[in-house]
Amino acid sequence: MSRKISIAIVLGVLVGLLGFGAWTVLLKPSGLPPEGFARGNGRIEADLVDISPRLAGRVAEITVHEGDLVAAGDVLVVMDTAELRAQLARADAAVASAEAAVGVAAAHVAEARARLALAQSQQSRAETLSVRNVVSREDLDIRRTETQLAEAALTAAEATQRAQERSVEAESAARAEIAARIADSTLYAGGPARVLYRLAQGGEIVGSGGKVLTLVSLENVYMEFFLPADQAPRLRVGDDARIVADIMPNMSIPAKVIFISPQAQFTPKQVETLTERESLMFRVRVRIPPELVAARIDQVKTGVRGVAWVRLALDDGGLPEWPEGLTPPLAPVSPAAGPNPVLP
């Protein structure tokens, strides 16, 4: 009998402990933000940029490695351009030939103008002599015909010159296209970034648009989170925000609200509580200022989880003051100040 009582007591204690644990984890209310503030969980993210050649070809050189930090204008990849440079030499010769043809056409125009001037002079002389009956009517008609033929020859020569000039423009355009392809064969960094993946090696042939590198752009470092429908209308684009990363719980990162979704949506599946998944939410994006990213660029890591804090407009339209623990720039919370009034 005593053994049964002992088992019952042990089971009772276990049930009590499990119940208390469940109440602590699932039912005990967590700390809520104070009035005028809202928060949301998210990750510090940045855009991924794929570095790809516009044309298929052989990779001559990749100048960076995974993990390297690059700045705007840095050379990342150089494609082999031997074939293109041969085409460029041929295009140079074609342009020179077309320009020479223009010179020949211009000489023909000058010759035609001289012949026309001579024919006009002979016709004028014949017109004068015809009035005195020195030149026959037949000779006068011949001079007039010669003038018309000279005018037609000049028109044809001028048309030929214009055609040759258009030919020069066409050959120059073809040359410029080849030169542009050569220029596109050197791939540069568009802004500050870190090399995430190196997807090809020197000597490999990649197709048009084939990925050679993947960069994490550090121009736009941000965090996305969700706010419920009763809070999102009280937030505006351009409002200040703060990010508290899990790896730096005693520091806040200043940010700006750059996007508020104009349409409500259900929160993603990774939101763990069923209540939040069933709620209509608005996606919000806050961006860390580029100058702050640039100043601490060696410390920037994407994928870091944290909490984004925003201020909500009060009834009078104003905004509450940030608590001391959430003031920029990355100010550590002073232990002497006591517990943070906002952080749970």
> Full-prediction pTM beyond 0.75?
no
Same domain, 177 and 155: yes
285, 251, 258, 281: which is closest to 268 by C-alpha?
281
Within-domain flag for 265: yes
Same domain, 238 and 259: yes
- Domain range for 195 is 51-81+186-206
Same domain, 146 and 37: no
Same domain, 116 and 255: no
pLDDT digits (tens, 9 = 90+) for 267-283: 665 554 555 555 678 89
Other residues' Cβ atoms within 10 Å of the Cβ of residue 138: 7
pLDDT digits (tens, 9 = 90+) for 89-132: 999 999 999 999 999 999 999 999 999 999 888 888 888 887 77
**pLDDT score, position 277:** 52
Tokens linked to 333 = 């919370």
Overall average pLDDT of the 196-213 stretch = 92
CB 214 within 8 A of CB 48: yes
Within-domain flag for 6: no
Bridge partners, residue 266, by sequence: 280
pLDDT digits (tens, 9 = 90+) for 156-193: 999 999 999 999 999 999 999 999 999 999 999 999 99
Same domain, 319 and 223: yes
CA distance 65 to 83: 27
Other residues' Cβ atoms within 10 Å of the Cβ of residue 118: 13
CA distance 290 to 136: 93
CA distance 153 to 150: 5
Within-domain flag for 168: yes
Tally of domains in the chain: 3
Within-domain flag for 228: yes
CA distance 240 to 316: 18
Same domain, 333 and 223: yes
CA distance 232 to 227: 6
CATH number of the structural domain spanning residue 202: 2.40.50.100
Within-domain flag for 5: no
**pLDDT score, position 133:** 77
Long-range contact set of residues 105-112: C-beta below 8 Å, sequence gap at least 24: 105/157, 105/160, 105/161, 105/163, 105/164, 106/161, 108/157, 108/160, 108/161, 109/154, 109/157, 109/158, 109/160, 109/161, 111/157, 112/150, 112/153, 112/154, 112/156, 112/157, 112/158
66, 56, 62: which is closest to 74 by C-alpha?
62
Same domain, 114 and 75: no
Within-domain flag for 99: yes
Q: Which of 220-229, 274-283, 291-300 has the lowest mean pLDDT?
A: 274-283
CATH number of the structural domain spanning residue 311: 2.40.30.170
Same domain, 198 and 69: yes
Same domain, 97 and 163: yes
Same domain, 150 and 196: no
CB 253 within 8 A of CB 195: no
Same domain, 91 and 76: no
DSSP codes joined into one string, 82-126? HHHHHHHHHHHHHHHHHHHHHHHHHHHHHHHHHHHHHHHHHHHHH
Q: Would you place residue 30 in the very low, low, confident or very high pLDDT band (cuts 50, 70, 90)? A: very low
Domain stop point among 145, 175, 206: 206
Q: Would you place residue 340 in the very low, low, confident or very high pLDDT band (cuts 50, 70, 90)? A: very low
Same domain, 135 and 258: no
